[in-house]
Amino acid sequence: MTAIGFLIEGQYGLNWPRWQGILKAAEDFGYKHVFRSDHYTIGPPDLDSLELWVSLTYAASHTSRIEFGSLVTPVTFRHPPLTARMAAAVDDLSNGRLVLGMGAGWHEREHRQFGVPLYDVPTRFEMFEEALQITLSLLRSDTPVSFEGKHFSLEEAILLPRPQRPGGPPILIGGNGPKRTLPLVARYASEWNADAILLDELKEKMALLDELIEQNGRQPADVKRSLVYKLLCGKDEADLQARLEERGATADELRAKNTFVGTTAMLVDDLGRYADVGVERFMLQWLDLDDIDGLEMIASEVLPHFHTD
């Protein structure tokens, strides 16, 4: 089944009233999931941005149906065992609805502002792989775990209480890179999230990922395929033009950035093409955190074509 939800960029003004309204809209309108980014800021200008894990704890206890998660939480921000402990606790609190999206970290300015070291790319990916190994070991092992890496270590560590869900929450890795990211997906992840990728390139990356998965002794079906989908959508042409004027951009400018621009009817067709090649989860990137009416429009006009339950 194709599942449609949305991604919000929390660094663009997320505060408690907005987060509460977004979660209520997702539950009430029939979306399947809500994901959010993990940033302190991405300015200038600097805007409101709720701390990721505090907000996900709220989501766990104030929703009952939707999946939710991080897209993605960088290894640079938190020690890996801390992330594993928080993820297991939030997943238990939600009765198994968390997806743990993890990443290497990338945004230089926020690291510098808050005094968080940001190493070179090879080092970050070394740290990321060790964090994946530690996280999976702690989530899956019922006996104490020891680990000695270049960047992190464990000595007879065990995660207690044990996660209620066998193996803990699924691990998502996002990104399109064929040399670093996709090999990590094939080795460690339960879900791969592609970032605003065009259909032909997506097919190529899926085929490569299938090969890598099989090389790691797994089956392609072991890894769910999801897609962040950038969009500007109107109910009809008049509504679309009004939204373009609000955005201050032309349709061609947005399409050049791999952004869907069109009506809800066109969106149904476009999502259908991606679903036909194996995308199981869509995360519609929703930049206007106050546009609840827009979320309701998508829910009314698009979701019935994909959600049958």
Look at residue 309 in the predicted model and tell me its pLDDT. Answer: 76
* Percentage of the chain exceeding pLDDT 70: 100
CA 17, chain centre distance (Å): 22
- Interval 5-16 mean pLDDT: 97
246 or 227: which leads in pLDDT: 227
Query: What is the rounded average pLDDT of the residues 109-122?
Result: 96
pLDDT tens digits for range 229-270:
999 999 999 999 999 999 899 999 999 999 999 999 999 999
Please give the average per-residue pLDDT across 20-24, as a whole number: 98
Tell whether the model's pLDDT for residue 278 goes beyond 90. yes
Q: What is the pLDDT of residues 144-185, one digit of tens each?
A: 999 999 999 999 999 999 999 999 999 999 999 999 999 999
| Mean per-residue pLDDT of the chain | 97
Residues 58-87 have a mean pLDDT of 98
71 DSSP 8-state letter: S
Band (pLDDT 50/70/90 cuts) for residue 71 is very high
Average pLDDT over residues 75-85: 98
Number of domains in the chain: 1
Say which CATH number the domain at 262 has: 3.20.20.30
**Mean pLDDT to the nearest integer, 290-305:** 97
Q: Which residue has the tokens 């743990």?
A: 100
State the DSSP code for 257.
Answer: T
3 state SS of 271:
helix
pLDDT of residue 1: 80
Q: How many CA atoms lie within 13 A of 103 on its CB side?
A: 21
How many Å apart are CA 278 and CA 274, to the nearest integer? Answer: 7
- Is the confidence at residue 127, as pLDDT, over 90? yes
Residue 223 above 80 pLDDT?
Answer: yes
Domain with 150 in it: 3-305
At 87 the three-state DSSP class reads helix
